[in-house]
Structure 1
Amino acid sequence: MLINANTAISTSAVLLVPYSKWHVPRYHVWMKDEEIQTATASEPLSLEEEYAMQQSWRHDADKLTFIVCQPLPEPLSKAKQKYAIRESDDSADRMLGDINLFLRVDDGEAGDSSAPQIIGEVELMIAEKHNQRKGFGRASLLTFLRYIVDHEAQILDEFMNGNITSAASSESVARVPKPWRLECLSVKIGQGNGRSLALFEGLGFQKVSEEPNFFGEFELRRVDLGREKVDGELARFGIEGYVEVPYRDEK
């Protein structure tokens, strides 16, 4: 997506930045790990293919992504919104993982005749084991949720007016009622991944079924996307100083 091409998000716990070409070499190293490939249902790519994928994430109207980095050395305040992210702030040694949103138009289960709905599927990865179990995943997810609820209308406008023929038929898209809104956020987690299940369930995602699907995954959904709810969760976990700041152009 283009909506976040020049926007980074700073909090006391993490820094989220647009996925840019200078992040690709580090990301490529992560994705060589077989455990990460299994957890993300990904196939290994060549470096050239990884650069092409980064451009797809940057421009496709149905994908929103940020790279998760360590928080800025000094927290920002709204009084400092003119601060621009420096190269050292999201250098390779400060990268932690990524968080993504896939948007789709869903006609409903089992041929339901109700109006199509817009659903956002979330993917979260904290790549290296020494950075896991430190709260970075929860902080990334809550920061991402805050961005989504603040910019829902713009995100959906880009999605619905973009090239989403792979996500839904034109007939389904035309039937989505206005004003456009996210019906829910969804996540799919392997049945053996207890930590991720606990993380998402602790933040209001509920299992669609008590049994995993054919692929051994649980789908969990969150329907409460209100700003007040998200702000309360940020405060509960001590994540402060949410500020959107300018991010440098990708040349």
Structure 2
Amino acid sequence: MKLNSNIKIKGAHVLLIPYEKHHVPKYHQWMKSTELQELTASEPLTLEQEFDMQKSWREDEDKCTFIILHREKFEETNEEIASMIGDTNIFIADKEAERGEIEIMIAETWARGQKLGWQAVILMLMYGIQHIGLKIYEAKISLSNNISIQMFKKLGFVEISLSEVFQEVTLERHVTDEWKIWLQKQCEFKIEKYKN
């Protein structure tokens, strides 16, 4: 989505930046992991396919993605690639209904268990509400990914369906004024211009 191609979102411990071509090789390395493929219900892609996917996420109006950086590491090193820990996406599932599907992945094992995914997903939820105009969120999560299921339930998502065939659960959350206020209290949220 071109809407987010020139901005970054700052949280207390993470930065969300646009997914650029120079991020693709590291992302491709992550997605060779069978664990991540299973947790994200993804198929392995060739490097060329990964570059095509990055271009699609950048240009298609129904997709919004950010790479998650570890903020402290980036501020120490000023190196995006070394600071990459995962990504977060919104796919506009139904523009008329203002419904978006949200995803989060913390790929770097050293960055897990620090509430960085929690913070990144809240930033993405807030961005989707304020800048894309979403009113309903859904999250489709592998049944084996109990950590993500519990995180989204803590965010107020409720289960609406379970697929034994695809081995995934679909959770949903309607945006309310009270929830927006609650999200804003969870973490710092600041949008700045993104520069390479």
Q: Provide TM-score, normalisation by structure 2.
A: 0.90
Which structure is higher in strand share?
Answer: 2
Matches within 5 A, 1:47-66: 47-66=47-66
Q: Which runs of 4+ in 1 moved over 6 A?
A: none
Deviations 1:90-125 (A, max 9, x none): 52110010000111238xxxxxxxxx6332111110
Matched, 1:103 2:92: yes
Which residue, out of 158, 166, 183, partners 1:233? 183
In 2, the alpha carbon distance for the partners of 1:40 and 1:59 equals: 22
Q: Cα distance, 1:230 vs. partner?
A: 3.4
Aligned amino acid, residue 129 of structure 2: V
Aligned match of 2:173: 222
In 2, the alpha carbon distance for the partners of 1:16 and 1:231 equals: 21
In 2, the alpha carbon distance for the partners of 1:214 and 1:3 equals: 35
Gaps of 5+ in 2: none
Q: Cα distance, 1:224 vs. partner?
A: 2.2
SS of match in other structure, 1:204:
coil
Aligned partners of 2:28 and 2:50 also within 8 Å:
yes
Gaps of 5+ in 1: 74-84, 107-115, 154-181
Matched, 1:189 2:141: yes
Bigger Cα displacement from structure 2, 58-67 vs 43-52: 43-52
In 2, the alpha carbon distance for the partners of 1:46 and 1:212 equals: 28
Aligned amino acid, residue 217 of structure 1: E
In 2, the alpha carbon distance for the partners of 1:145 and 1:225 equals: 12
Matched, 1:136 2:116: yes
Matched, 1:126 2:77: no
Which residue, out of 173, 188, 191, partners 1:244? 191
SS of match in other structure, 1:37:
helix
Which structure is higher in helix share?
Answer: 2
Decide whether aligned partners of structure 1 residues 67 and 225 sit closer, same or farther in structure 2, where only a CA change above 3 A counts: farther
Aligned partners of 1:64 and 1:102 also within 8 Å:
yes
In 1, the alpha carbon distance for the partners of 2:122 and 2:72 equals: 17
Deviations 1:35-55 (A, max 9, x none): 111122222222222111111
Aligned partners of 1:184 and 1:225 also within 8 Å:
no
Deviations 1:219-243 (A, max 9, x none): 00010254x533433434xx22x21
Aligned partners of 2:40 and 2:142 also within 8 Å:
no
User: Higher Cα Rg: structure 1 or 2?
Assistant: 1
Aligned partners of 1:4 and 1:18 also within 8 Å:
yes
In 2, the alpha carbon distance for the partners of 1:248 and 1:231 equals: 30
Aligned partners of 1:145 and 1:230 also within 8 Å:
no
Matched, 1:93 2:82: yes
Aligned match of 2:150: 198
Aligned match of 1:68: 68
Higher relative contact order (CA 8 A, sep 6+): 1
In 1, the alpha carbon distance for the partners of 2:63 and 2:191 equals: 19
Matched, 1:117 2:97: yes
In 1, the alpha carbon distance for the partners of 2:50 and 2:16 equals: 20
Matched, 1:13 2:20: no
SS of match in other structure, 1:61:
coil
In 2, the alpha carbon distance for the partners of 1:133 and 1:245 equals: 27
Aligned-pair identity (%) = 37
Q: Provide TM-score, normalisation by structure 1.
A: 0.71
